Structure 1
Amino acid sequence: MTGAASGPSYRVRTAPDASDARMRGRRYAIPFDRVWSAAFRLLSGGLPHWSLTWEDDEHGVLEAKVPHRTLRPAGLVRVRVYLDADAQTCVEMFAGPADGGRDLGASRRRVLRFFEALDRDLAPGPGQRLTPIPTAR
């Protein structure tokens, strides 16, 4: 998927070629540990009502639940932090409704909210927030 709701699942994920630049993930010239710690803090309560449910620091994966709120269904988010071939720190994200149903755009807003908070937390200086590039998986 390229950052837009697709089919009946309403799941979204970042992609380097997403038409909305905000949905392209992040690539930083910032050490992995600093980016990982910032993402961990955000999913562990740094974003209101978000709660970390699983972490795998060996594979750079964090998962969190976002509870149901008025007009917003409960959701699940997954964040992946990794080093690319150029040793730059990359962050990708997936979000979807917890029940697999409709979410009225909540998943996309969660991705955008996370990246806004991550950029604010990291406060990348000039040349530290890089253009996402396609990655080989």
Structure 2
Amino acid sequence: MSVWTALSQNRAATHPEHDNPRLRGPVYAVPFARVYQAALQTAEALGWTITDQDPRAGEIFAEAHTRMWKFTDDVWVRIWLDEDAATCVDVASASRVGRADLGTNSRRIARFLHQLDARLRVRPHANPEQTAS
């Protein structure tokens, strides 16, 4: 992450072509329901407060708190099936206050995805959109 990004952004989100490989939403050859449950358990294990969830839509809404100042940030997780029936995960995290998060939201997403991989005991496979050149 560049210094400019850390000082000028207060949100982060996964994207198939993100410059940071840790912020490319994973694609799993794992059933939707299993990924959704693992995502919910991972969010809870990270200490996030689940504010709303919709298992049918594959959405989890949560609040996370920064360590030092205890600011509340909003987190959204979406689990969905692609055209090949692979389970995809997208995550966004946004600070409620301030203009710069110093990379907090990016690190939060990367930590969540890393722990989700560990909980599922699988590594995501490459998203075709990420490898097409």
TM interval, shorter chain, is 0.7 to 0.9
Residue in 1 aligned with 2:97? 99
**Within 2, Cα distance between the matches of 1:5 and 1:82?**
29
Instruction: Report percent identity of matched pairs.
Output: 33
Q: Does 2:111 align with 1:113?
A: yes
**Structure 1: 5+ residue runs without aligned partners?**
none
Q: CA deviation at 1:74?
A: 2.5
Instruction: Report the Cα distance in structure 2 between the residues aligned to 1:11 and 1:133, rounded to whole angstroms.
Output: 25
Preserved CA contact (<8 Å) 1:73 1:103 = no
Mapped partners of 1:72, 1:109: distance in 2: 16
Partner of 1:75: 73
1:72, distance to aligned residue in structure 2 (A): 6.3
Gaps (5+ residues) in structure 2? none
Task: After TM superposition, give the deviation of residue 59 of structure 1 in Å.
Answer: 1.4
Higher RCO structure, 1 or 2 (CA under 8 Å, sep 6+):
2
Q: Paired residue for 1:37?
A: 37
**Aligned equivalents of 1:74 and 1:65: distance in 2?**
6
Superposed structure 1 runs of 4+ greater than 2 Å apart? 4-9, 71-74, 98-102
* Cα deviation, residue 102, structure 1: 2.3
Offset at 1:71?
5.1
TM-score calculated relative to the size of structure 2: 0.84
- Please provide the CA RMSD for this pair: 2.3
Which residue is 1:129 aligned to? 124
